[in-house]
Chains A and B, each alone.
Chain A
Amino acid sequence: DSGVTQTPKHLITATGQRVTLRCSPRSGDLSVYWYQQSLDQGLQFLIQYYNGEERAKGNILERFSAQQFPDLHSELNLSSLELGDSALYFCASSVAPGRNSPLHFGNGTRLTVT
């Protein structure tokens, strides 16, 4: 158990809809990362937060947004959903954003867009 909690585990929704994925980091971790993993693309970095502030952006679409709250949990909002957004979404956390801090991943939210 990594200590990172993601909810819900599964989500099925229709195209055009909006969903929110939630992540609670490991106790003591200040940095949160979001990744998308689809069958044909592997793990794609989306965005990182550190202590409530956006730290880095990866391949995140404009239809997607995220935030980290004062209690350090994070939410990833996906809107105007398309079939191609179907994927596993992973959250990870680390103590600090530095290069010497390992990432600890949750077990993901599986999103299916129909």
Chain B
Amino acid sequence: DAKTTQPNSMESNEEEPVHLPCNHSTISGTDYIHWYRQLPSQGPEYVIHGLTSNVNNRMASLAIAEDRKSSTLILHRATLRDAAVYYCILRSNTGNQFYFGTGTSLTVIP
């Protein structure tokens, strides 16, 4: 499975937008980009996923670069409850496993 690279940590002020980047330069044409987040003492939670086009849902937006070698998870207004580790992973056509990297630890400052 192709690898992803994310910053170890980021900070954001409450009620401001947050842009969480992910690089996946070895992505193949059929890999889906998935984002999950893990709050303290909880299991990972699905956030959003996409293939080529930008995606929006009630939790966040996913912006995918035209060459698909990077993507950005956008939280439109960060709240304290958004403080979590955010994982960007690739789901391949041939592999069935989800491999999680180290993710980005997001701190939201009141």
Cβ of B97 and Cβ of A58 under 8 Å apart? yes
- What is the total number of residues of chain A having a CB less than 8 Å from a CB of chain B? 24
Residues of B contacting A25 in the complex (Cβ-Cβ under 8 angstroms): none
Q: Does B93 contact A (CB under 8 A)?
A: yes
Q: Is the interface of B mostly helix, strand, loop or mixed?
A: loop
Q: Which residues of A contact B (CB under 8 A)?
A: 2, 4, 33, 35, 42-43, 45, 48, 50, 55-56, 58, 90, 92, 97, 99-100, 102-108
Residues of A contacting B68 in the complex (Cβ-Cβ under 8 angstroms): none
5 nearest interchain CB pairs? A105-B43, A99-B91, A43-B100, A102-B46, A56-B96
**Listed stretches B13-21, B30-38, B75-83; interface member:** B30-38
How many interface contacts (CB-CB < 8 Å) are there between A and B? 61
Q: Please give the distance in Å from A25's CB to the nearest CB on chain B.
A: 13
* Measured CA separation A110–B46 after assembly (Å): 21
* Measured CA separation A103–B45 after assembly (Å): 8
Cβ of A45 and Cβ of B99 under 8 Å apart? yes
Given known A90-B43, A108-B43, contact A100–B32 (CB-CB < 8 A): yes
